[in-house]
Amino acid sequence: MRLNVVYLASGFPTPDNPSHGIFNLRAANALKEHVNLTVIQYRIFKPGRKLVEKIKEDGFNRIILCVPYSPVGEEKLYYFNNRIIYRFTQLFAFGILRNADLVHASDGNLGVVASWLKKRFSFKLLVQFIGGDLNQDLTKIYRKSWMKDWLKKLDAVTFNSKSLQSYFNQLFGSHPVSQVIYRGVNTDIFHPSNTKAEDEIVFYFLGGLPAYSTFTHGRNTKGGMNLMAAWKKLEEENPASKMKLLFAGPDADLQLVRDWRQGLGVPGKVEIYGKIAPSEIASFHRKGDVALLPSLEEGLPNVALEAMATGNLVIGNRVGGIPEVILDNANGLLCATPDAEGLFQKMTQVLEQPGLVSTLGQAARKNVVAGFSHSSFAVNYISLYQNLLKTS
């Protein structure tokens, strides 16, 4: 008999923002083959949006709850906002939760909401931690009185990287049912290109300059500002090098980026893009040779696995789960310092040793195919679901 699983998601792709919550869509499509799945998606209420909308997807049901949530002063209003989410879920999804065998909260913040719901319902609760939920949000509120005994309500916890698991253990202590389950990557979609130019090295960046107002590093969280400084120095010291930079991602086309480009010695070596649509990500990887991940904070960025599956060389910082998949000088390069200078040094190394692009890129592809296939994502979660229900 198939399990009834409810998947809580704070983001899901929409026609106007197809990349928002793309990992939740991928997870739903993977899990629907094994369970009776209902996705509860949360959106901020705005005039014109229905409070509740039910959608029949291909293989699963999705309910959209539009909640009067205040994005201003989120840290101060954390408890208030999440209590509203809790009340809306209880009111509009009562029947679904009553019949649920298991609730899978797709991030730690929704795990807090789900732990309150668990007081009313009998489902098993699995909470998945993805990065910012733990690094930025829960680390600020976990000592609050209303978070007391929160961990006891979680039947299982999962993590997108070992580093997140380690940080969770520092905050809360180890959980008896704890597992790292990588999202993985579809190596059939992300594959090497056969048409790359031989005489030019194309560096590329997909992190953009998103305005993370509650994150310590703000717009530089993905390292975009450091990259801009590193590229300026790289260009000045290697004026004759055949190289190009593709600068893309959320807010990557801001005026400040365009002004920076115009101030370069050779602006034509930099191409600026905005956010890349999910359907175009794989082909965008194949345009480049060297993926840049100068993030200052991460869980485990899927762009790393995607680039590696494409057979590209990845240069990354030693933060979050990046060192779990990239081994320095074995299947990629890790910066000595997480700043512009550390990135500049590794990019310089690639210009001086262009053969690394091929050798390390091929090793990266082999590593991902062997250990980070997307097919294991659903298998691992379904196995965990079944083990949890056995202990009921």
- Same domain as 174, residue 242: no
- Same domain as 227, residue 177: no
Mean pLDDT across the chain = 93
What's the pLDDT band for 127 if we cut at 50, 70, 90?
A: very high
Q: What is the pLDDT of residues 45-77, one digit of tens each?
A: 989 999 999 999 999 999 999 999 877 666 788
Is 64 among the domain residues? yes
CA-to-CA separations, 142 to 135, 151, 160, 172, 299, in angstroms, rounded: 11, 10, 20, 8, 19
pLDDT tops 90 at residue 247 = yes
Q: What is the pLDDT of residues 143-201, one digit of tens each?
A: 888 888 888 999 999 999 999 999 999 999 999 999 999 988 999 999 998 766 668 99
CA-to-CA separations, 295 to 31, 106, 188, 206, 242, in angstroms, rounded: 30, 22, 27, 11, 25
Displacement of CA 112 from its chain's centroid (Å) = 20
- Same domain as 246, residue 148: no
* CATH code (residue 116): 3.40.50.2000
- Same domain as 179, residue 46: yes
- Same domain as 124, residue 46: yes
- Same domain as 332, residue 214: yes
Residues 6+ apart with CB under 8 A from 5: 31, 35, 36, 37, 38, 100, 101, 102, 103, 104, 385
Q: Percentage of the chain surpassing pLDDT 90?
A: 76
Is 242 among the domain residues? yes
- Same domain as 361, residue 379: no
Displacement of CA 67 from its chain's centroid (Å) = 23
- Same domain as 380, residue 366: no
Is 322 among the domain residues? yes
Considering 77-81, 152-156, 274-278, the range whose residues carry the highest mean pLDDT is 152-156
Is 28 among the domain residues? yes
Structure tokens at 214: 């509650």
Is 191 among the domain residues? no
Is 193 among the domain residues? no
- Same domain as 252, residue 131: no
- Same domain as 165, residue 237: no
Is 194 among the domain residues? no
Structure tokens at 19: 């990349």
Is 359 among the domain residues? yes
Q: What is the pLDDT of residues 347-384, one digit of tens each?
A: 999 999 999 999 999 999 999 999 898 888 999 999 99
- Same domain as 223, residue 138: no
Identify the domain containing residue 304 by its residue range: 201-371
Q: Which residues pair with 276 in a beta bridge?
A: none
Count up the domains in the chain and report the number: 2
- Same domain as 260, residue 227: yes
